[in-house]
Structures are given as C-alpha cells and as structure tokens.
Structure 1
Amino acid sequence: MKTFAPLLAPIAASLMLISTTLSAQTCLSDGLETTPDEDFTTITSSTVLHEPTDLVWERCAEGQTWDGSTCDGEAVKYTWQQALKLAQAASDEDLLGWRLPNVKELATIVERDCVRPAVNSTMFPETPPDDFWTSTPSVDDPDRAWVVAFFNASHSIKEKDRFIYVRLVRTYTND
C-alpha cells in the first residue's frame, strides 16, 4: 500500500501559508495613514484616547480581553438591542459613560490605507475584519441600523436582529 503523506505535506504547508496570507492585514506602503499611532494616547492598559476626537476607545472588541500586549480571546457578536444594553451595563458598572459609538465616531478609527482589518492594528490588535455596530439607526427603516465594516472601511445598514461585533467608546474626561 502506497502512502501519499510525503506528497501531501508540501501541499498542506502551501495551503496554510495561503490562508495565513489571506487573513493578514494589507496596507498601502506609500499611503497617508488616517489613524497614525501618534493620534492615540494610552489612558488605561485597555483603553486609548483618540486625540483628534477626544474619544476614549476600548482596545479590544467585546468578548476579547487586553493581556498587556494584544487582545486575547474571541470577539462576541450581538444584536443591536443587545449591544445597546451591553453599553448601558458597562456605563452603569464604572460610571464612565461607555456607549455604542455613532457611525461618524466609529468611522474616525478606520484606517483607510488598510484592509482585513481596516484599523490601526497597533492600537486595536486582533480586530475582527468584519462589521461593528453603531448606535445610529437607519432613518428609512426602523428595523435596521448602521455598521462600519473593518474589512474594507465601508459603511452600510444591517437588520438589527443580526449578530455583529461591538467596540465601546466614551468621551474623554481627564480620568
């Protein structure tokens, strides 16, 4: 009986390299960064201040935890109502005013020179390259709300009962 293991090993290695390459962030080498590191200041170990907007952002998506150098664990998806309740509970817990960002606020941390994810990966490591909820409802359809796609920096509206990622924000208050 012949074994194909020696033939399959190089193919498997190539496929793993391709899948790793496809999931890695890609950025323009000569573009002008829209969210450079110098626009951010560390507030706590897990939050950063975006100085141009005076907004404090969680470094990790909900479900992930900051381990001192990166976001660990799996991000969790929520419906729009669940995301709003999650933000209210976070605000009630520490009284700092955490909330779901509106579409304009969330768009301020999109890195337009990068895709998969379209975010400053130093400030927001391990960000899922997918949609994130905003608090902005659709004006045309009460069953939908705006999302920002950290896959390619686009914006769209989605049904509020879909499960989508969340990153909370608050206004800076000289903590």
Structure 2
Amino acid sequence: MGAHRDSAHHGQRGRSQGAAAGRDRRGTELGQGALSLARALVAAAVLIGCIASPAAAQPVPSKVPPTGVRICLGLTKEGWPTPQACTDAGPLALVPKQDGRQGAGPLAYEAVPGQPRTACVRDRVSGLVWEGKRDNGRPADAVAYVAQVNASRLCGYADWRLPTVAELHGLVDLGKERVPEVRPDRPLAEQSVIDARWFPNTVPALYLTSDMRDPTSPWCVNFANGFVYDCDPDMSREPPLFVRLVRGPEAPKAGRWRELPDERGVPGGAVEDRHTGLVWRRCEEPQTWNGKRCTWSAKRYDYVQALQRASEQAGWRLPTIKEVNSLARRETDRFEMPPSDFPAQGKEASRAGQWSSTVCNSSPETSTARASISAWVLSREGAIYCEARIMHLGVRLVRE
C-alpha cells in the first residue's frame, strides 16, 4: 500500500490532470447556472456571515485540530522504513517528532449547551461550531441551504457558512480505518473518516467547501478517505455532493503574521500565525534567514529524509497534514503555499508539494514482501493525498 497512492485516488488524480482540457466542455454542459452557483458559494456564505456577526476588534485564534493518527515510521536495524504504533516500545527505532508522537491526542468535541448532537457540535480545539445534521440528506442548492439554516437560527445562531478546506479537513480522523467499499449493513458514519459518535449522520462521500479552485470547480473533502481535490458543483449530479455548515472564527484577511526572532536570535527568522498560534520557519529547508533573505536554495527530501531533517533541528518539527494545510491559501485560479502576504522570503524556490509528519498508508513486512509506508502531502496545486515515501518534496518546519 505504501508504495503507491490509494487506488481510489488514481481516478481522482486523473480527473485533476484532465481537468484543464475538460473544464470548457463541462462549463458548456452545466451552463451559466452552475457557473453562477459556483461563484455564489463563497459570496453568499461570506455575506450572510458578515451580516449576522458583529465585527471583532481582534482576530479570534482557532487552533489546528489533531489528526488522530496512531501509526508512525520506524527503521529496522538495516534502515528499512517500517510502520509501527506510535506508542509501541517495539523493535524499531521510531523517528522522533512524528505526528503520532506529539501527544496531541484524539480529536475532541463537546455538546453545545441545550442542543442535541444532531443540531450542532463544538470542536474543543479549534473552537468552531459544526452543524450536526439530523439525517443523511443533501440539499439541492448549497446557497439556498445556507440562507435557510441561518433563517431558522440553528442552535440560536444566524452566522452559519460553508467551511474552508482547512476547516472542513480539520474534522477528518486520519487514525480511523478507511473502508475500500461502503457496506449497506453498517452505519454510514462508521464508514466515514470522522468521529461517528459526535457526527452520526455523515456519509463517506464528498463535502463542499467555500474555496474555489477555478470559476467552475470548488474544492471538496472526501470523507471516505480524507483526500482533498476539486469537484463538480452541480448538486444534482453523481457522485452526490453533501454540505456541512460551520460558524466561528475565520482566518483574518490582514494582520495574520508576526515576525519573530529564530532560534539563533535573527529577527524575522520565524513567523507566527496569529490565527492558529503556530510558529513557522520563514524559509524552506535547509535555507536560513540572514535578516534580509533566505540564503542558499530549498532542497527536496524523500519522506525519511524529511523526518530526519526535522529531528535534527532543535525546537522544530515537521508539521502534521492539518498544520501544513493551515498555511495554504486557495483562491479562484490561484493556490499559494505559503500565502503571498506571508513575510517575504527573498528568492523564491520553485513550487513543490509539501511533506507532513502524518503517516497515511502502511503495511508490515510479510514472507513475500517488504514493509511499505506512505505519508500525507499537500500538493503544489492544493490537493491532499497519500504519497509514496520515495518522492522528493519540500519541507517547512513548525513549532508551537
């Protein structure tokens, strides 16, 4: 499993690669109605939220939720990468500073006072409040649905909106087993990569976000496997598209970044994200900040090299997939990692996908095959998927 991406993603990746050639055709097929819908998804959600919510004096922090992953990468005596439980005192030498070894614990939720879980649920880490869902139905029109929920004042609030990719992906439980096929004899939420106890009415399918990849394609989160990719905004088409609304602090449009001294005392060598509370190295590895620019050139690492590089940097670590995704910005026909308003780095490196410390697929050694392991990555186009450990990608380190 670790030597290649999920089989389910091959078709998704093919769709993305063929999207440029097919979008004109699809735009013609859907007509101006679908195009208007896609453009309205963000505008309507933002407009409703702005009308309903008073302006805050300062941005309210929203921490990044844990991933729930419980498998880490270890090395055999021969140096072969092999999966092992993050808490297992087994025969492998576990590489330090991995996602599952950070002690973040499982995803954590709580009830909203006086409300059932099928109405709304609060994320104890991010502070976001999520629509709970009374059934597994899906709306015919996402924009109309946002207006309807706000008019009903669900849980006493009228500032519900479509979530961003980072927000919706924050619900994904990557420690949960992904099922290859949906079984009709099991509850759908149990087959979705989400905490079924708190979100019992969830379908292992695509859920819509407010972020647009291009004028006709929004980004979606797949709760069957945790992948993120662009999808068809037509709510009447197959495969079905679902919606789960959110309310709470959004990433600020300005004043998000604050320059800090790095571990060497160089001013501006580190950058604090005031929205998440995370602190990032200003430069991609192995570059360093000299007070004016990033020196040398960014390097591309395979997965083991990325983890080992992070373990050698005192106080820093490789981010989880949810953390690295929090640094991304998705706008129509534009993806940035990091965003353009992130403090200038000097000479820009060529864009590359980014490793996370979150293990994705793994399989132990057998009598006929060696152990394999892969990790979650953020692609240079903005998608999230499993990548083989032998690929060479970028590394940006983080700390609390």
Greater mean alpha carbon deviation, residues 126-135 or residues 50-59 = 126-135
Task: Find 1:133's aligned residue among 355, 362, 384.
Answer: 355
Task: Find 1:48's aligned residue among 271, 296, 299.
Answer: 271
Taking a change above 3 Å as real, the CA distance of residues 56 and 66 of structure 1, as seen in their structure-2 partners, is same
Greater mean alpha carbon deviation, residues 47-56 or residues 70-79 = 70-79
Alignment of 1:20-99 (within 5 A): 36-44=253-261, 45-91=268-314, 96=315, 98-99=316-317
C-alpha offsets along residues 72-121 of structure 1, whole Å, 9 cap, x if unaligned? 43210111111111111102xxxx2x110000000001011273644313
Given the alignment of the two structures, is residue 165 of structure 1 paired with residue 394 of structure 2, yes or no? yes
Residue in structure 2 matched with residue 10 of structure 1 by the alignment: none
Alpha-carbon shift at residue 127 of structure 1 (Å): 5.1
Alpha-carbon shift at residue 66 of structure 1 (Å): 2.3
Alpha-carbon shift at residue 35 of structure 1 (Å): 6.8
| Matched residue type, 2:257 | F
Does the CA contact (< 8 Å) of 2:306 and 2:395 recur in 1?
Answer: yes
Greater mean alpha carbon deviation, residues 160-169 or residues 123-132 = 123-132
Alpha-carbon shift at residue 51 of structure 1 (Å): 1.3
Residue in structure 2 matched with residue 120 of structure 1 by the alignment: 339
Q: State the SS of the aligned residue for 1:99.
A: coil
Q: How many angstroms apart in 1 are the aligned matches of 2:277 and 2:390?
A: 31
Residue in structure 2 matched with residue 18 of structure 1 by the alignment: none
| Matched residue type, 1:62 | E
Taking a change above 3 Å as real, the CA distance of residues 79 and 69 of structure 1, as seen in their structure-2 partners, is same
C-alpha offsets along residues 16-66 of structure 1, whole Å, 9 cap, x if unaligned? xxxxxxxxxxxxxxx999674511111122111111211100111103232
Taking a change above 3 Å as real, the CA distance of residues 84 and 156 of structure 1, as seen in their structure-2 partners, is same
Q: State the SS of the aligned residue for 1:104.
A: helix
Does the CA contact (< 8 Å) of 1:35 and 1:110 recur in 2?
Answer: no
Given the alignment of the two structures, is residue 109 of structure 1 paired with residue 327 of structure 2, yes or no? yes
Please tell me the root mean square deviation across aligned C-alpha atoms, in Å. Answer: 2.7
Q: State the SS of the aligned residue for 2:276.
A: coil
Q: State the SS of the aligned residue for 1:86.
A: helix
Q: With structure 1 as the length reference, what TM-score do the two structures score? A: 0.66
Q: How many angstroms apart in 1 are the aligned matches of 2:357 and 2:273?
A: 19
Q: State the SS of the aligned residue for 2:279.
A: strand
Does the CA contact (< 8 Å) of 2:361 and 2:386 recur in 1?
Answer: no
Q: How many angstroms apart in 1 are the aligned matches of 2:354 and 2:269?
A: 19
Greater mean alpha carbon deviation, residues 42-51 or residues 124-133 = 124-133
Q: How many angstroms apart in 1 are the aligned matches of 2:292 and 2:252?
A: 19
Which structure has more relative contact order (CA 8 Å, sep 6+)? It is 1
Q: How many angstroms apart in 2 are the aligned matches of 1:88 and 1:157?
A: 22
Segments of structure 2 that go 5 or more residues without pairing to the other structure are 1-42, 47-210, 212-250, 262-267, 364-371
Segments of structure 1 that go 5 or more residues without pairing to the other structure are 1-30
Q: State the SS of the aligned residue for 2:351.
A: coil
Residue in structure 1 matched with residue 373 of structure 2 by the alignment: 143
